[in-house]
Amino acid sequence: MTQTAEAARPAIRPRIAAKSGLFLFLGANVAAVTWLFAQAGVSQNVLITIGRLAGMYGALAMAFQLLLVARLPWLDRRLGMDRLTSWHRWTGFTILWTLLAHLVFITFGYAEVSDKGVVDELVEMANTLEGILRALVAFAVILVVGAASAKFARKRLAYETWHFIHLYTYAAVLLAFTHQIALGQSFAGSEQAKAYWWTLWLGAGAAVLAGRVVLPLWRNLRHRLRVTAVVSESPDVVSVYMSGKHLDKMPARAGQFFLWRFLTKDRWWQANPFSLSAAPDGRSLRLTAKALGDSSASLRSLKIGTRVFAEGPYGAFTTIHQRRPNALLVAGGVGITPIRALLEDIDGHVVVLYRVRSQADAVLLPELNDLAKARGAVVSVLTGPDQAVGPRGAMLGPANLHMMVPDVHERDVFVCGPPGMTSAVLRSLRELKVPSAQVHAERFSLAA
């Protein structure tokens, strides 16, 4: 990277700016909700007061959740889908526990006031108060979605099934909102409260509509992608080339990925995340995938001319976050695809470490070598069993990393590969005390 390019970077790093903005937004809304709650007045019953406050915080968390899953380009480019998905998961836990607290404290509080049993009080509220039954249904839906998001369930569900279950979250949000309108004391307590909550909910809904519906439809109508070639890279790896209109206007960067739908009779409903395996050149796009499942394997049978619906681009695994003049790119297996694209885009001196079991598994290696030769980069292919340990420890352990790249502390490090390998490399970098701001890894998990 030249000194001019380094100086041209923004004074505030994109990731820090996005994090700060998001946390400031959340903090301001927590303060606003607390103030509105105090203005509405508290109940003489402590349990009811706690329950109402928990309900308001739960409603705020649901609105914030919508913002996280909206896939807004400004946030995604700066924070990355994996970070947003992690926050989405923790916000989901927050919603679950705040709404559970709301239900329990409100029910026990009113049971105490009316001197009835807890179950009797809940049944009576559901039968006599508008919106209670809707709230109970919303809570049940959130429980189902939470169960489907647990690790043991997520591993056993197809992405399409998992995604379909998560779509019910929007129904739960709508039911919870109507409950808030019907019974929310702070909602109906003042014109200020009404204005705040309507603005918050409509803003969150508009973000989802824009990011998940309007923008993808508009981009696909504009670019009209079609398959132009299907190339076998190895017995179990295939590349798909696509072209379309005005691709020079598509805001895709090397290192990013799309959710691809190939509009054939048997797979139009399947959406799969694949990274770009070549830097966008304004004329075509390319993905390269390994046959890890039926969906990936069926890419070989795509016909030339097949229409493609692509959602994205997504991901912060790009040079927008590069801070140092030189870079280290670490890839494992088919994780080489975004790394190969980044090699075209990164300035400065670049070292590529490509971890595979055998030389035959090193897909796209001829392209990597050609690119490295053209730009003075160094490519090293590291072969051996997954758990191979040498005199200096693991192949991508701290000792070996430091030996292969002595100036690793002075480089940005981009890591992409299987979860185990990625985690191991990140641990090695922490042991080597490489500044976290220079380390970039994205696992490309998806929020619903």
d(C-alpha 169, C-alpha 164), whole Å: 10
Q: What length is written for the chain?
A: 448
10 has pLDDT over 50:
no
pLDDT band at 178; cut points 50, 70, 90: confident
Residue 313 burial (CB count, 10 A)? 23
Mean pLDDT of the chain: 87
38 has pLDDT over 60:
yes
Q: Where are the alpha helices (DSSP H) in 41-80?
A: 46-69, 73-79
11 has pLDDT over 50:
no
User: 205-217 burial, b if ≥16 CB within 10 A, otherwise e?
Assistant: bebbebbbeebbe
Q: Which residue has the higher pLDDT, 39 or 1?
A: 39
d(C-alpha 238, C-alpha 363), whole Å: 10
Q: Which residue has the higher pLDDT, 1 or 411?
A: 411
253 has pLDDT over 80:
yes
Amino acid sitting at position 73: P
Closest Cα partner for 312 from 244, 255, 260?
Answer: 260
Measure CA of the first residue to CA of the last residue in the chain; give whole Å.
37
Q: Which residue has the higher pLDDT, 268 or 189?
A: 268
Closest Cα partner for 394 from 368, 361, 420, 364?
Answer: 420
pLDDT of res. 235: 85
d(C-alpha 192, C-alpha 183), whole Å: 17
Per-residue pLDDT tens for 218-245?
999 999 999 999 999 988 899 999 999 9
d(C-alpha 135, C-alpha 122), whole Å: 12
92 has pLDDT over 70:
yes
144 has pLDDT over 90:
no
d(C-alpha 261, C-alpha 247), whole Å: 18
pTM for this entry? 0.82
d(C-alpha 352, C-alpha 365), whole Å: 11
pLDDT of res. 5: 40
Q: Where are the alpha helices (DSSP H) in 252-300?
A: 294-297
Alpha-carbon dihedral angle through residues 67, 72, 76, 77, given to the nearest 10 degrees: -150
Per-residue pLDDT tens for 125-135?
888 777 788 88
SS3 380: strand
* Weakest mean pLDDT among 36-40, 248-252, 321-325: 36-40
Residue 181 burial (CB count, 10 A)? 16
pLDDT of res. 188: 62
Alpha-carbon dihedral angle through residues 11, 27, 71, 85, given to the nearest 10 degrees: 100
Q: What is the DSSP letter of 302?
A: P
Average pLDDT over residues 409-423: 93
Average pLDDT over residues 9-31: 82
Distances in whole angstroms, Cα of residue 268 to Cα of each of 36, 158, 306, 308: 47, 15, 11, 9
3 has pLDDT over 50:
no
pLDDT band at 108; cut points 50, 70, 90: very high
4 has pLDDT over 50:
no
Residue 73 burial (CB count, 10 A)? 15
282 has pLDDT over 90:
yes
* Weakest mean pLDDT among 3-17, 82-96, 353-367: 3-17
d(C-alpha 21, C-alpha 28), whole Å: 10
